[in-house]
Amino acid sequence: MNTLLERNGVSQRALDIADRVEAFVRDIIAPFEGDPRCGPHGPSEALADELKVLARKAGVMTPHILEDGSHLTQRETAAVLIRSGLSPLGPLACHTCAPDEGNMYLLGKIASPELKQRFLPQMVDGSMRSAFFMTEPAEDGGAGSDPSMMLTTCVIDGNHWVINGRKTYITGADGAGLGIIMAKSDDGACMFLVDLPDPAIRIERVLDTIDSSMPGGHSVIAIDNLRVPADQMLGASGEGFKYAQVRLAPARLSHCMRWLGACVRANEIASDYANRRLAFGKPLVDHEGVGFMLAENLIDLKQAELMTYWCADVLDSGGQGGPESSMAKVAVSEALMRVADRCVQCMGGQGVTSDTIVEQVFREIRAFRIYDGPTEVHKWSLAKKIKRDWKVTHTG
């Protein structure tokens, strides 16, 4: 993966970390990909714990957060997280996976010193998983891509807030030790840090979904009179949407980083297969229909890489990165979907088996086109920006 782009503009410290992560994921973690403890709702807690022990031993646990607690730049983070994504199990082992990576970033930016001290060390060392409770069930009329529709409520009661509502698609809630819950007060959206498990937070069911890389799967949650101490609110009442934006743009980009790594690996597997497999007197790669698909993969992978680093630079320059992360999320997820689909097609029957990670990567990328905002929602958001910008230049 020693591409020219990755090594231009990335610090030597980040490249050293990235190289260690890549060697660890390829040599130590990839052999676990066929482990029977990888189930339909994600890897088991036992497997996750075993992989994290190996990561700590190799010195690659939460590699994007340094020993002094500082965070690599987004460009540096890209170099590291792309490598961690070379296996679907890599982000779990290295603790660079969603939603923990985004939640750690949010706490580092928004949480009070007391809350950081209480929760962050356990998150950074990988001993505690977290979940982000925002999306609500469609049948309730709650918030999905439109967070303003939020129905979950929070009401002040003495020195506590009382939260009621339902949430869905909550990644990793089953087994998490910390929840970040969004609810609506009279002031507007709020965020709370909550110790898990809690009897007032009930998992109604863990959904059966197309993807299977995240421990705990994705759950439907009922929250019934949950009492949260007032000092466990993140920031101020009514500021929740503003804080969500702090998390969402980098989190979208982190998805791009990790799944770019997965598709690089899937393309390696497909390319190896096409060079070894003979058909009609020659290797598959020599047949134009196959060779051209692999060539198109290289183009899409490079474009995805460029978009990822471009958006990282926007965030590093101090920009909030809303429109830029929307563009990157659309471009990268759609490009990677094409890559994953071609990998399956190039490998034929072998591509739809679980003998390699190619079929899993295909499933994960299909989900990625929806998670953190479907392609169409991001396009709609960009179209609204076009209209706003036009009004600024053509009125007054």
Query: Rounded CA gap, 316 and 73, in Å?
Result: 6
pLDDT in tens, 251-289: 999 999 999 999 999 999 999 999 999 999 999 999 999
Q: Give the global pTM.
A: 0.95
**pLDDT over threshold 60, residue 2:** no
Query: Rounded CA gap, 238 and 291, in Å?
Result: 55
**pLDDT over threshold 70, residue 34:** yes
pLDDT attached to residue 67 = 86
- Token pair listed for 52: 């994290």
pLDDT attached to residue 147 = 86
pLDDT attached to residue 246 = 87
| Radius of gyration in angstroms for the set of CA atoms belonging to the chain, rounded to a whole number | 21
pLDDT attached to residue 68 = 86
Domains of the chain, earliest start first: 4-97 (no CATH), 130-238 (2.40.110.10), 241-390 (1.20.140.10)
Strands (E), the chain: 38-39, 42-43, 130-133, 153-157, 160-171, 178-185, 188-195, 201-207, 218-229, 278-279, 282-283
Is there a contact between 356 and 350 (Cβ–Cβ < 8 Å)? yes
pLDDT attached to residue 396 = 61
pLDDT in tens, 101-130: 999 999 999 999 999 999 999 999 999 999
pLDDT in tens, 52-79: 999 999 999 999 999 888 899 999 999 9
pLDDT attached to residue 299 = 98
